[in-house]
Amino acid sequence: MLAVLLAVSCLAGKGLAAPLLPAVIKARLPHDPKAFTQGLLYHDGFIYESTGLYGQSSLRRVDPATGQVLARRVLPATVFGEGLALVRGLFYQLSWREGRVLVSKPADLSPAGEFPLPTEGWGACTLNGTLVVSDGSDKLFFYDPTAMAAIGVVSVTDDGVPVTLLNELELIAGRIWANVLGDNRIAVIDPASGRVTAWVDCSGLRPGVTATVLENVLNGIAHDPATGRVWVTGKRWPELFEITVPGLPTGGVR
């Protein structure tokens, strides 16, 4: 009887594993194959991209139709660029292990300040005026962006199992979409509970291409909340893909 009760108790604590939904390609657009993409977002008709690697990191404004880099802020050689978010009218660009958040003005990408970051910086997005940061673990950290004061943390799980290596983040229709380093799936996360509610399967975007942990991996999600359009790319990918995911809301009017 005790064994039965324990089994029932364990089952009660577990939910159904999140469904896997295929990404459908709507458009293929050019992307700089040298860009080591770490962060991606859409703002006022342009794609903004954070690129990484020491001595190569930058913040870019990109024409999504042509892939042309229209403006660029080159980061110091000692900074490894990471996730990117638009928070209260400013870009917040994470650094990997340097403990720095670089703030830039969207108009010309010029510096507009800096904040300390107590963890590694991987991915970033904004949620209701807060800055959400991943650090490569299963955690999402929430900060007040005015002073980078910590205000909360949530652990991400799928069917009760921690989802680690959370990377690039994007808020889409109330859910946080997260790249997972080395995975061809995007986790769709309920930010209140940390539960993965769906996975977006992007394995069909570049069939036959073998990725390593550092090279050619899926990384970069951008979203236009006005139209619901979603774009994804990867590190040193030659293409930016506009995708749809049947059965998954992305907001806006398409």
Taking only the tens place, the pLDDT of each residue in 185-229 is: 999 999 999 999 999 999 999 887 766 667 789 999 999 999 999
- Token representation of residue 245: 């995911």
Residues in the chain with pLDDT values less than 70: 1-16, 210-213, 252-254
Which of 23, 34, 66 has its CA nearest to residue 237? 34
d(CA 46, CA 44): 6
Asked whether 87 and 105 are in contact (CB, 8 A), the reply is no
pLDDT confidence of residue 4: 28
pLDDT confidence of residue 216: 86
User: Residue ranges per domain, the chain?
Assistant: 16-244
pLDDT confidence of residue 6: 28
The architecture in CATH of the region 16-244 reads 7 Propeller (2.130)
Number of H helices and E strands in the chain, helices first, is 1, 23
Could you read off the pLDDT of 130-154 as tens digits, one per residue?
999 999 999 999 999 999 999 999 9
pLDDT confidence of residue 28: 97
- Token representation of residue 149: 């004061």
Which of 81, 83, 85 has its CA nearest to residue 73? 81
Q: H or E element: which one contains 11?
A: helix 2-12
DSSP label at residue 80: -
Can you give the pTM of this predicted structure?
A: 0.91
